[in-house]
Amino acid sequence: MGISRRLFITRVGQLGGYSAAFTMMQSLGLLPIAESAAQTPMPSNGKGTTVLILGGGIAGLVSAYELRKLGYQPILLEARSRVGGRNWTIRNGTEVEFTDGTKQHCEFDPGHYFNAGPARLPSIHKNMLGYCRALGVPLEVEINSSRSALMQSDKLNGGKAVEQRRVVYDSRGHVSELLAKCVDKHYLDQDMTSDDRERMLSFLKQYGDLTPDYKFKSTERAGYTVYPGAGTVTGQPHDPFPMHELLSAELWEGMLVEDNVDWQATMFQPIGGMDQIPKAFEKSLGSIIRHNADVQDIDQSDTGVHVAYRDTRTGKSEKVSADYCICAMPLTVLAKTQNNFSPEVKAAIADSKYDSAYKVAWESPRFWETDFNIYGGLSYLRQTVGIVWYPSWGLFSPRGVVISGYSIENGTPFGALPTPAAKLDASRRAVELLHPGYGDQLTKPVYISWGHIPYNLGSWISESGRKDSPDYATLLKPDGRVYFAGDHTSHIVGWQEGAAVSAIRAVNMIGTQVGQGAKNA
């Protein structure tokens, strides 16, 4: 990657950015191909084997689903009255309570929602798409990129927001012109044959939309000041922004978001909210799930795993035992349990650092559609709030929910804002900067900060706490009869797909163990 992912995610704040190929794990000497094969559940006879699953996020739900399929008897403990974990859709009536006791009550119009956690399903995330198919969760296109969306920097266009298409195609035009100049002047003759030289010039002319003499004058790709029309109305392209201005504006991170492999079209979202996925798992799993079961103590012996939990409705302590355990709780929450994990595992859990991502959502008339031709997609700013994300659902309807602000709070200017009110102000200001005169149309704000959400205490494991650390390797191994799952045991952190493959991996490891036990007996 050309830029640090942490920088990337901090600046443009995309939920779930860690799909990078972490190379440190190769030093463990395990063959990637064998592991890859292991992610497809293998036939296994789990009959009679009980497995406790701690945590009803995607990793826990997939674990239960796959174990049941293989004949195991899974029992899933979930602290909340709902499953899904970070997969959480906020709609009318949702209570948002922070760890400090602060409460928000969502009053959106019926049918309106936003996904507080994951909000996108890339089509290359085959396991998640597969579960949506299997569970009958209907999907619709999530528009992750719209060329009519806006970009704003105080250093570009006098601070006035511009359509993304101008930044994208003006930049490419300048790059192409500069390279064509070097090729034309024979600066790169050592790098290419004379045939390729001609082909390269021809390509750059198309790539950058250059004139026949390889100049970048303007491009209709960047849109028009006058759109082509009937009769004598010819299209009037914009004058390009000078490269100097584009370089100063530094809008690159936002511009390049769509190029990340996990953010490339085609992307999806479940119709009606991302929580349709956990709801479908919940319906399928039925009594396997025990809600309101707040895990307090994890104690394993040579013969089984014994978990004590508090029933959050009655306040009573309950106990449950099983042959094996898949622990799919956030490490931040797991760290607060009593347990008899090995010192190595305890340390790995305690060492883990989590980021705290936030989102601020507002209900509003869809001025971005009616007055700006923006249908879905994201606008980017070089401001305290750097992202405005338009809904892909309910297009063309009168009102919708727009997210203004989505990034990491820890160590960022947004996180440093002193009060929730100041954060809402920054959020509204971003919309006002992009859409002058419309900021005051925003109503019914909901502010989610994952670091302050009970039973999450963070959005995802920090890359900085993970890279070059032996803790990751530690949590890949079972601790006795306890197997760890969750996106933090995958290389697709912050994505549901990471949780899914980590669960399949844990199930397969138990399968191998059970198979070995059977053989040994």
Question: Site residues for a copy of itself, window 386-415 (CB under 8 A)?
Answer: 392, 395-396
Query: Alpha-carbon dihedral of residues 434, 437, 441, 444, nearest 10 degrees?
Result: 50
State which residue, 356 or 462, has the beta carbon closest to a copy of itself. 462
| Consecutive H or E run containing 171 | helix 164-184
Contact predicate 73/51, CB 8 Å: yes
Structure-block tokens of residue 474: 């530690």
* Shortest Å, Cβ 8 to a copy of itself: 9
Q: Which of 147, 291, 346, 467 binds a copy of itself (CB under 8 A)?
A: 147
State which residue, 74 or 270, has the beta carbon closest to a copy of itself. 270
* Shortest Å, Cβ 479 to a copy of itself: 15
- Per DSSP, the three-state class of 150 is strand
Contact predicate 118/89, CB 8 Å: no
* Shortest Å, Cβ 498 to a copy of itself: 7
Contact predicate 129/270, CB 8 Å: no
Residues 108-127 that bind a copy of itself (CB under 8 A): 123-124, 126
* Shortest Å, Cβ 30 to a copy of itself: 4
**Cα 178 off chain centre by:** 36
Q: Which of 45, 102, 301, 373 binds a copy of itself (CB under 8 A)?
A: 373
Structure-block tokens of residue 132: 């949506």
Residues 251-280 that bind a copy of itself (CB under 8 A): 252-253, 256, 259-261, 264-266, 268
Q: Which of 81, 158, 194, 206 binds a copy of itself (CB under 8 A)?
A: 206
Residues 161-200 that bind a copy of itself (CB under 8 A): 165, 169, 171, 175-176, 178-179, 181-183, 185, 187-188, 191-193, 196, 199-200
- Strands 460-461 and 354-355 come out as antiparallel
Residues 215-254 that bind a copy of itself (CB under 8 A): 220-224, 226-237, 243-244, 247-248, 250, 252-253
148 is an interface residue for a copy of itself by CB under 8 A: yes
**Cα 59 off chain centre by:** 15
Phi, then psi, of 304 in degrees rounded to 5: -175, 180
Contact predicate 360/131, CB 8 Å: no
First to last CA, the chain: 49
Q: 481-499 b/e with 16+ CB inside 10 Å = b?
A: bbbbbbbbbbbbbbbbbbb
Residues 11-50 that bind a copy of itself (CB under 8 A): 19-23, 25-26, 28, 30, 32-33, 35-36, 38-39
State which residue, 104 or 218, has the beta carbon closest to a copy of itself. 218
* Shortest Å, Cβ 504 to a copy of itself: 7
85 is an interface residue for a copy of itself by CB under 8 A: no
State which residue, 168 or 289, has the beta carbon closest to a copy of itself. 168
- Strands 50-54 and 73-77 come out as parallel
Q: Which of 15, 285, 492, 510 binds a copy of itself (CB under 8 A)?
A: 492
